[in-house]
């Protein structure tokens, strides 16, 4: 084993690992697994020129910058599809600013090639055991069974990444906390990045957490039972008080694997109190409504990037009477009406668009 000197960056993908545990690294040909932590240095700057640390601070990186990195899979149509390699190698791709690494499989042609990371070895404890973020969860629910009734879950999903879901979720948090309600917030799927849940925290949600608090640098390609396990653990931790609200965001779009698995789950659908659907434009919103039909779901409101455009809103009005709220400039009174207007036919019914 070799000693790790001070001065390295501990990124947010390794959120569950205390800096005091990052002391040693060793060479090993063990095949990498999701959550395995390695010690490495930036070899060539590409798309990502910064790293987000465990408190959300953004560090600029340079050739030679040393940091801990975490193996994970990424699904990001605007960036990369990246996978954990079958075998350990001495050079890998930086898949996200949170410090997650793997091998790029596909790349959006509008972005640069990935930043390259030279792997120096696996991070290990003094006994030589390789550290894995999943072995150090920050959340351990007291309850093993869900008490009824539960906090009202407001679910935010959308057509794709960057469709405005986080802004819509934050708007819901702001409206509810402004009215005096206690709000908790979670992001169930995606790639480790603190900015989305920190945005909800800035809007009044507290406490807040996502899958990375359970040690997962990402959720792409997780087995269905493990994915539902993340949802249920966060539910058990943050949604026990029926007087509170639990705002939940699902990453990517409704046709993406993990989002589809969760929406197809009766456990998840049964928890929906209000459903907010986000889209980049009117056409995407209309298409998304048709996709939601197969789950028997009709949104209580539409939002996202399209909600900032009066023209998109006008186009939507020709196809649906579902209300639209502008997440960039939310109206507290109007949003409150949406969040409190009960729709008994929300779950499992035929939807007309």
> In terms of domains, do 107 and 167 share one?
no
Predicted local confidence at residue 279, as pLDDT = 98
Does a structural domain hold residue 54? yes
Does a structural domain hold residue 239? yes
- The torsion angles phi and psi of 229, rounded to 5 degrees, stand at -60, -40
Residue-wise pLDDT for 92-122, tens only, equals 999 999 999 999 999 999 999 999 999 999 9
> In terms of domains, do 199 and 323 share one?
yes
Residue given tokens 């997650």 in the structure block: 100
The token duo for 280 is 């980049």
Is residue 203 a contact partner of residue 170, using CB atoms and an 8 Å limit? Answer: yes
Residue given tokens 């007087």 in the structure block: 243
Does a structural domain hold residue 305? yes
Number of domains into which the chain is organized: 2
Predicted local confidence at residue 57, as pLDDT = 96
> In terms of domains, do 157 and 117 share one?
no
Predicted local confidence at residue 349, as pLDDT = 33
CATH code at 271? 3.40.50.300
> In terms of domains, do 204 and 127 share one?
no
> In terms of domains, do 102 and 209 share one?
no
| Intervals of the chain under pLDDT 50 | 343-353
Does a structural domain hold residue 82? yes
Predicted local confidence at residue 344, as pLDDT = 42
Predicted local confidence at residue 341, as pLDDT = 64
Q: How far is CA 73 from CA 39, 96, 104, 300, in A?
A: 18, 10, 9, 32
> In terms of domains, do 296 and 198 share one?
yes
* Nearest-angstrom CA–CA distance, 225 and 209: 20
Does a structural domain hold residue 143? no
Kindly report the pTM of this predicted structure: 0.94
> In terms of domains, do 168 and 39 share one?
no
Does a structural domain hold residue 348? no
> In terms of domains, do 121 and 212 share one?
no
Last residue of a domain, one of 135, 160, 187: 135
> In terms of domains, do 125 and 165 share one?
no
> In terms of domains, do 109 and 161 share one?
no
Does a structural domain hold residue 347? no
Residue-wise pLDDT for 287-296, tens only, equals 999 999 999 9
> In terms of domains, do 259 and 164 share one?
yes
> In terms of domains, do 186 and 326 share one?
yes
Q: What range does the domain containing 271 cover?
A: 152-340
Is residue 40 a contact partner of residue 116, using CB atoms and an 8 Å limit? Answer: no
* Nearest-angstrom CA–CA distance, 185 and 181: 13
Last residue of a domain, one of 103, 135, 167: 135
Last residue of a domain, one of 101, 135, 169: 135
How do 152-158 and 245-249 pair as beta strands?
parallel
User: Residue 195 is inside which H or E element, if any?
Assistant: helix 195-202
Does a structural domain hold residue 145? no
């Amino acid at each position: 084993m070799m000693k790790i000197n001070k001065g390295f960056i501990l990124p947010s993908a390794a959120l569950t690992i205390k800096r005091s545990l990052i002391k040693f690294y060793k060479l090993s040909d063990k095949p990498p697994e999701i959550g395995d932590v390695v010690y490495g240095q930036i070899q060539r700057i590409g798309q990502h020129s910064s790293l987000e640390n465990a408190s959300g601070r953004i560090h600029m990186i340079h050739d030679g910058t040393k940091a801990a990195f975490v193996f994970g899979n990424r699904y990001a149509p605007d960036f990369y599809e990246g996978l954990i390699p079958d075998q350990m190698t001495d050079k890998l791709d930086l898949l996200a600013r949170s410090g997650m690494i793997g091998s790029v499989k596909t790349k959006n042609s509008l972005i640069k090639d990935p930043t390259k990371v030279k792997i120096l070895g696996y991070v290990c404890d003094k006994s030589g055991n390789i550290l894995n973020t999943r072995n150090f969860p920050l959340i351990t629910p007291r309850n093993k069974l869900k008490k009824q009734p539960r906090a009202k879950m407001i679910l935010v999903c959308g057509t794709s990444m960057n469709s405005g879901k986080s802004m819509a979720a934050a708007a819901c948090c702001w409206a509810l906390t402004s009215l005096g309600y206690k709000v908790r917030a979670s992001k169930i799927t995606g790639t480790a990045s603190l900015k989305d849940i920190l945005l909800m925290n800035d809007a009044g949600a507290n406490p807040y957490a996502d899958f990375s608090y359970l040690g997962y640098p990402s959720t792409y390609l997780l087995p269905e039972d493990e994915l539902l396990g993340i949802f249920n653990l966060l539910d058990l931790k943050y949604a026990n008080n029926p007087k509170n609200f639990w705002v939940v965001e699902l990453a990517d779009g409704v046709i993406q694997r993990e989002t589809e698995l969760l929406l197809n789950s009766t456990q998840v659908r049964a928890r929906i109190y209000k459903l907010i659907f986000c889209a980049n434009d009117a056409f995407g919103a209309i298409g998304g409504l048709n996709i939601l039909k197969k789950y028997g779901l009709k949104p209580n409101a539409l939002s996202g990037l399209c909600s900032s455009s009066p023209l998109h809103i006008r186009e939507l009005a020709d196809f649906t009477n579902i209300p639209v709220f502008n997440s960039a400039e939310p109206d507290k009174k109007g949003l409150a009406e949406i969040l409190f207007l009960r729709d008994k036919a929300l779950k499992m019914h035929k939807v007309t668009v």
